[in-house]
Every structure is written in structure tokens, then in C-alpha cells.
């Protein structure tokens, strides 16, 4: 990953992020509410560059905050992006792959779904999300890929919190993981970044 980009993202998190309680980082000004399209495009390029040689055919995410980075990665890879829906749609009723996702942050359970029309055994998937915390969203998408017989080529997240379970969960499954920003801990309301290289190399 480009050093210049890491610095740019970390500076943005330092300047605009707010630590809430023990383990939440609020970055509503460029990622989770207002979206900075240029930063998002640069993120997409970083993901695409890292997973360029993997034969990715589709980018998968979960609505809503995953959509912006996933779209930019898919644009840069020239493949479609599909987002799993959390809510029942009137026009999307059967022919669905579904998985249950528990949100520790919100303490709610969601069923996520993707139409069988948009994922198949021919696909090699790149999973993209905004945050990697406990890995529940990624786990749900892995379940869906397994049900579809699709191969998972990698996982890319904008911000991972290494002190939660998600990072280990993915590494243990030998899935290539790229986190654009990696947070080791929060210290008195400040973000401490991790620059540990524990990512699995892309073959």
C-alpha cells in the first residue's frame, strides 16, 4: 500500500475522528454520513491495486456504509458491485441467499440477503466494508459466498480495530486482508495506529 495514502487517511482520522466510549470511532464527516468522493476514489484504487492479480469478478458489501468504498473498488477493478440488503425489499422476495448478522455495536440482529441472480459459483469475490470490528458482517458475507459456491479472494476494509475479534477471525481463515487504516487502541480519546504487517500476501 502506498505510504502517502496511509498518511493521508490517518491524518484525516486524527483530524476529524471522534472516539466515543471505549471502542467506537465516529468518522461521519468522510465515511459514515458525509462522504468524501476523492478520498473514497483513492481508497478504491488502493484496494484494486492490492487485489489486482486475483481474478476478482465481483465486489460484495453490506448496505449502507460499505457501499461507497465498495463501489470505488469495483469501478477501479472494472467489475460489478453487489450490496447485501438488510431490509426486506418488495421487489426482492425469493431466490435469495441469506445470513444472520449480529451487531455488537447496536445489539441488533439483521438478516442480510443477496439475490441468487447476482452471485454464482463462477464468481471470485472481494468483500469490502467500512469498519472491521467483530467481523460479523464479513462472516455473513462469507456464509452467503459459501452458499453460492463462490470463491472469496480477499477482504478489504477502510478501518480495522485490531483490538476486536474481526482481524483475527479473517487471518485464521487464511483470507487475504487489507485494512487501509489499522487501529491498535484508543488512548484517552486518541487513536493509536498499528503499522504491524500481518496481512497475508496475495498470491
Site residues (vs ligand G4P, CB under 6 A): 24-27, 32, 62, 64-66, 103-106, 130-137, 161, 166
25 is in an annotated binding site: yes
Whether 115 and 96 have beta carbons less than 8 Å apart is answered as yes
Q: Is the dihedral of CA 188, 133, 169, 2 positive or negative?
A: negative
For residues 124 and 180, what is the distance between their CA atoms, to the nearest angstrom?
21
Name the nearest CA neighbour of 177 among 138, 143, 120, 134.
138
Q: Give the residue at shortest CB distance from ligand G4P.
A: 136
Shortest CB 32 distance to ligand G4P, Å: 5
161 is in an annotated binding site: yes
For residues 139 and 149, what is the distance between their CA atoms, to the nearest angstrom?
15
Q: Give 135 or 154: the residue with its C-beta nearer to ligand G4P.
A: 135
156 is in an annotated binding site: no
Q: Give 46 or 130: the residue with its C-beta nearer to ligand G4P.
A: 130
Shortest CB 42 distance to ligand G4P, Å: 19
Shortest CB 61 distance to ligand G4P, Å: 9
Whether 67 and 172 have beta carbons less than 8 Å apart is answered as no
Shortest CB 150 distance to ligand G4P, Å: 20
What angle do the packed helices 37-50 and 3-16 form, to 10 degrees?
140
Q: What is the chain's alpha carbon radius of gyration, rounded to the nearest angstrom?
A: 16
133 is in an annotated binding site: yes
In the annotated binding site for xanthine, the residues are: 25, 32, 161
In the annotated binding site for 5-phospho-alpha-D-ribose 1-diphosphate, the residues are: 133-137
Amino acid at each position: 500500500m502506498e505510504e502517502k495514502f496511509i498518511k493521508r487517511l490517518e491524518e484525516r482520522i486524527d483530524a476529524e475522528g471522534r472516539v466515543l466510549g471505549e471502542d467506537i470511532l465516529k468518522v461521519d464527516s468522510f465515511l459514515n454520513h458525509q462522504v468524501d468522493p476523492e478520498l473514497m476514489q483513492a481508497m478504491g484504487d488502493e484496494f484494486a491495486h492490492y487485489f489486482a492479480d486475483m481474478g476478482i469478478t465481483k465486489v460484495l458489501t453490506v448496505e449502507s456504509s460499505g457501499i461507497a468504498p465498495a463501489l470505488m473498488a469495483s469501478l477501479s477493478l472494472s467489475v460489478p458491485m453487489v450490496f447485501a440488503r438488510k431490509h426486506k425489499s418488495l421487489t426482492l422476495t425469493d431466490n435469495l441467499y441469506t445470513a444472520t448478522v449480529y451487531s455488537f455495536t447496536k445489539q441488533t440482529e439483521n438478516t442480510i440477503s443477496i439475490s441468487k441472480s447476482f452471485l454464482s459459483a463462477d464468481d471470485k469475490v472481494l468483500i469490502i466494508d467500512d469498519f472491521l470490528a467483530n467481523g460479523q458482517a464479513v462472516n455473513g458475507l462469507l456464509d452467503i459466498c459459501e452458499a453460492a459456491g463462490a470463491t472469496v479472494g480477499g477482504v478489504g476494509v477502510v478501518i480495522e480495530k485490531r483490538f476486536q475479534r474481526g482481524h483475527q477471525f479473517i487471518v485464521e481463515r487464511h483470507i487475504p486482508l487489507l485494512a487501509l487504516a489499522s487501529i491498535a487502541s484508543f488512548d484517552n480519546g486518541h487513536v493509536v495506529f498499528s503499522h504491524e504487517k500481518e496481512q497475508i500476501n496475495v498470491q
